[in-house]
Amino acid sequence: MGIKVVERHGNTFKEKIYLHAVFSGMKTTLKHFTANLRDASNLPTLCYPEQKPTDITPRYRGVHRLTHRKEDDSIACVACFMCATACPANCIEIVAADREDGRDEKMPQVFNIDLLECVFCGYCVEACPCDAIRMDSGIYSVIGECREDFIYNKAKLLSIQGISKEEFSLAK
Amino acid sequence: MRITIDDISIECEEGELLIDVMLNNNINIPHFCYHQDLGADGNCRMCMVEIKGAKRPQIACDTFVKENLEVITKSENINEVKRSILELELLNHPVDCPICDQAGECKLQDYYMDYGLYESHLTTPKTKKGKAIELGSNVMLDQERCVLCTRCTRFTSEITKTGELGIIGRGDSARVGVAPGHELNNPYAMNVVELCPVGALTSKDFRFKQRVWFLDTSKSICHGCSRGCNISIDYNETKYTREKIHRFRARRNARINQSFLCDYGRLSYKELNNSFKGTSSSIEDLKELLKEDKKLALASPSLSLEQLQAIQTLCQTHNIKLFCLAYYDESFGDGWLKTNDKSANLASVKKLGICTCQEEFDAALQEAELILNFDHTLLKHQEFGNKKSVQFTSTHLPPACGYCFGFANFAHDTGTLINCEGITQKFYATRFRDKNPSLSELLEQLR
């Protein structure tokens, strides 16, 4: 491995008194200050929550949702536990059961995501072989009054709409 | 005699099968149809190896070892052969691993990752066969996942000699099945689930309960009868559920149960999840009680040697008459694994010289004023009238008026059993502690 010798800065008199660096920093701040004072419409800051972000795309990792099958609008999840296995926060609780409608053999009886534990990493979406769990809801804010409000169950996850073009599961 | 496998010299016996030598020496050899307790069939062709001097690759399950045999299990050629065989086996496989209970312990998955990794060449639709067929005796059949290794049919025809299962049809449509109107029905039927290397035969009892990679395993001994079959206890505790035992699997022991287990023993895991949930009585009260005259103790013959020793010591120091009655069931034994004596450890009882005489016990029970019952089913739910009783139990008991102490069952304790043939075996506790103390710990407090 090669070694790159880097010149050591900060030893000159000009650098040691810091004044030059302070004033050059203040120059930038002052430039922005006067520009923003003249025209406030260009400010990138949002007055959240009165103002809402407009740049949430389907690729934004929002709150999870469970997708439906195109054929009969039933749940796409087959309770394979891949998401629960991949989850680094261990926040997905699944109880599998026999499926009675003849579509497949297996489905989740319980599917809970604890959003307080979730780190929104998206591994569950990556792991899902059935495109049954997605984070394309665009929901960036979850509000509740108690801890239980943040445990989203199967019915709640199924009811969330996505903002991407594909509404249903793409699994074959 | 010495042979060489992949440049490693290995000692073996004349007349041994090459695959047995490899399995006994933990050399990875993929195989579906060969099973150490069912013998060779040679139909899956997965155990192909190159043998120096032979023109073509040979199957290891049909090759006997010879002096100075040189075997190669890994080479470009042999991997290509295995890949082709695997592709044929997997041609009509539905690849429904997400809903398959075998996923995680499936040989098809393992070998695909080791040797397969090909794209399917199939251009026509896959052959459809029956799925989720209930065969009876808690066995579910999925014909599409089957690789036709015939382990299950060989088990029913050669081991249980009941012959329920057979291969029906030819070529693409060949499938495992039972004759119309019949069902899989024998007391060892669930062994086919474990014998099946893929997800074709799965257990209805374990169906969809857990994915196998979440399970932990502890080595144990079945307490169903005096045979002492070796088992693995599969259990787990998740963030959302308390520790639960999900299944027993047979653990190979060539001297006792080979790789098999009776259905009765296999399903006996359920009572281990029914541990004592109430609050135990105060140990000080018990110390007070032990000052009574005319005391009698009855110990279960399924307790471990260590537990029986602890009870015996307690009885000797407090002058308690100790008895141990066998769980005898004339209709249970069958001459193979099941024995009429349903007590797991009667040999230890006899070794310790504990009285097993029914008449003496009956007479002593009449006289006794304090009865201590150590998990014996005979006195567990019995009313004793004006006599005082103390129950030591590993299972849940409804709140009763007497004194009650819960102790950890055999899944949560380590101990020794002596089986009906006099073989001494140890069983080990799971990783999780029971909320109840072990019986030895409990009796230690009485000193």
B115-148 confidence digits (pLDDT tens): 888 888 888 888 899 899 999 899 999 999 999 9
Whether B239 and A93 lie within 8 Å, measured CB to CB: yes
Q: How many CB atoms lie within 10 A of CB A136?
A: 25
Q: Are strands B2-5 and A151-152 parallel, antiparallel or unpaired?
A: unpaired
Which distant-in-sequence residues (6+ apart) come within 8 Å of B8 by Cβ?
Answer: B27
| A133 lies in some domain | yes
Nearest CB partner across the interface for A78, out of B99, B132, B207:
B99
- Count the residues in chain B: 447
Percent of chain B with pLDDT over 70: 100
| A6 lies in some domain | no
Query: What range defines the domain where residue A139 resides?
Result: 65-159
Are B152 and B99 a contacting pair, CB within 8 Å?
A: no
B282-327 confidence digits (pLDDT tens): 888 888 888 888 888 999 999 999 999 999 998 988 888 899 999 9
Are B325 and B341 a contacting pair, CB within 8 Å?
A: no
Name every chain A residue with its beta carbon within 8 A of the beta carbon of B97. 80, 129
B151-204 confidence digits (pLDDT tens): 999 999 999 999 999 999 998 899 999 988 889 999 999 999 999 999 999 999
CATH number (domain holding residue A124) = 3.30.70.3270
Are A76 and A86 a contacting pair, CB within 8 Å?
A: no
Name every chain B residue with its beta carbon within 8 A of the beta carbon of A81. 211, 214
Nearest chain B alpha carbon to A112: B240
> Structural domain tally of chain A?
1
Q: Using pLDDT thresholds of 50, 70 and 90, give the confidence band for residue B109.
A: very high
- Among A77, A78, A81, most B C-beta atoms within 10 A, so best to mutate, is A81
Nearest chain A alpha carbon to B211: A81
- Among B202, B208, B244, most A C-beta atoms within 10 A, so best to mutate, is B208
B34-93 confidence digits (pLDDT tens): 999 999 999 999 999 999 888 899 999 999 998 889 999 989 999 999 999 999 888 899
Which distant-in-sequence residues (6+ apart) come within 8 Å of A58 by Cβ?
Answer: A136, A138, A162, A163, A164, A165
DSSP string, B79-143: HHHHHHHHHHHTTT----GGG-TTTTS-HHHHHIIIII-------SPPPP---SEEEETTEEE-G
Chain B interface with A: residues with Cβ < 8 Å: 97-99, 103, 131-132, 207-209, 211, 213-214, 238-240
3-class SS at B50?
Answer: strand
Residue A110 CA to its chain's centroid (Å): 23
Q: Are strands A133-134 and A65-66 parallel, antiparallel or unpaired?
A: antiparallel
Which amino acid, residue A45? T
Which distant-in-sequence residues (6+ apart) come within 8 Å of B46 by Cβ?
Answer: B30, B31, B32, B33, B82, B85, B86, B89, B111
Whether A129 and B98 lie within 8 Å, measured CB to CB: yes
| A52 lies in some domain | no
Residue B325 tokens, joined: 């009655």
Q: A–B: how many Cβ contacts below 8 A?
A: 35
Please give the domain boundaries of chain B with CATH numbers for all domains: 2-89 (3.10.20.740), 97-203 (3.30.70.20), 216-234+244-269 (2.20.25.90), 283-444 (3.40.50.740)
Which distant-in-sequence residues (6+ apart) come within 8 Å of B39 by Cβ?
Answer: B154, B158
Name every chain B residue with its beta carbon within 8 A of the beta carbon of A104. 99
Q: A48 to chain B nearest CA, in Å?
A: 36
pLDDT at residue A132, as a whole number = 94
Name every chain A residue with its beta carbon within 8 A of the beta carbon of B209. 96
**A152 DSSP β-pair partners:** A113
Residue B205 tokens, joined: 């009892």
A12-36 confidence digits (pLDDT tens): 998 999 999 999 999 999 999 999 9
Cα separation of A109 and B209, whole Å?
11
Label residue A58 exposed, middle or buried (CB < 10 Å: 0-12, 13-18, 19+): middle
Q: What share of chain A is helix, strand, coil (3-state, %, to 5)?
A: 25, 15, 60
Which amino acid, residue B400? A
pLDDT at residue B212, as a whole number = 94
Are B277 and B396 a contacting pair, CB within 8 Å?
A: yes
| A112 lies in some domain | yes
Chain A interface with B: residues with Cβ < 8 Å: 78-82, 85, 90, 93, 96-98, 104-106, 112, 129-130
Q: What is the DSSP letter of B173?
A: G
Label residue B167 exposed, middle or buried (CB < 10 Å: 0-12, 13-18, 19+): middle
pLDDT at residue B106, as a whole number = 93
- Among B96, B97, B99, most A C-beta atoms within 10 A, so best to mutate, is B99
Smallest CA-to-CA distance from B36 within B250, B186, B304, B340 is with B250
Is pLDDT above 70 for B401? no
- Among B131, B133, B207, B211, most A C-beta atoms within 10 A, so best to mutate, is B211
Label residue B230 exposed, middle or buried (CB < 10 Å: 0-12, 13-18, 19+): buried
Nearest chain B alpha carbon to A172: B96
Which amino acid, residue A138? G
- ipTM confidence: 0.84
Residue A119 tokens, joined: 């780190």
B269-291 confidence digits (pLDDT tens): 999 998 888 888 888 888 888 88
Nearest chain B alpha carbon to A93: B240
| A44 lies in some domain | no
- Residues A56-80: what's their mean pLDDT? 92
Is pLDDT above 70 for A128? yes
